[in-house]
Amino acid sequence: AQKITQTQPGMFVQEKEAVTLDCTYDTSDPSYGLFWYKQPSSGEMIFLIYQGSYDQQNATEGRYSLNFQKARKSANLVISASQLGDSAMYFCAMREAHGSSNTGKLIFGQGTTLQVKP
């Protein structure tokens, strides 16, 4: 069954340093997409970055990059040059192309709370 695991409930990072948020996933579908979302304390869910299972290159979007290791089934989010505004909860999510439930739903991990220290 499809599953997303985020093992770090909380993380601290110093401003201007890089931080890696872990995400592992479980699926038997060879075609899937992995997504990261940011949820600040205000509550909204903000899309950050996407990685497809067949993508040859790791995805990058500005200060966000994805360390995609397909064999290990991990899709870690790397935030470079952390800013105070990066303090938020971060969710990893997956969507299968041919999931058993045949829906387009996203499956989310439990999230990691990131605190950026000045």
Partner 1 sequence: DSGVTQTPKHLITATGQRVTLRCSPRSGDLSVYWYQQSLDQGLQFLIQYYNGEERAKGNILERFSAQQFPDLHSELNLSSLELGDSALYFCASSVGSGAGAARVTDTQYFGPGTRLTVL
Instruction: Provide, rounded to whole angstroms, the least separation between the CB of residue 9 and partner 1.
Output: 12
Instruction: Provide, rounded to whole angstroms, the least separation between the CB of residue 117 and partner 1.
Output: 25
Instruction: Provide, rounded to whole angstroms, the least separation between the CB of residue 33 and partner 1.
Output: 4
Q: Which residues bind partner 1 (CB under 8 A)?
A: 31-33, 35, 37, 42-47, 50, 52-53, 91, 93, 95-98, 101-111
Nearer CB in complex with partner 1: 23/107: 107
Residue 33 phi/psi, 5-degree rounding, is -125, 145
Nearer CB in complex with partner 1: 2/67: 2
Nearer CB in complex with partner 1: 14/101: 101
Q: What is the DSSP letter of 100?
A: T
Residue 41 phi/psi, 5-degree rounding, is -65, -20
Phi-psi region of 73 (alpha: psi -120 to 50; beta: other; left: phi over 0): left
For 6, 17, 83, 101, 105, the CA distances from 68, given in Å and listed in that order, are: 15, 21, 23, 25, 21
Instruction: Provide, rounded to whole angstroms, the least separation between the CB of residue 69 and partner 1.
Output: 18
Nearer CB in complex with partner 1: 3/16: 3
Angle at 96 between CA 94 and CA 102, to 5 degrees: 125
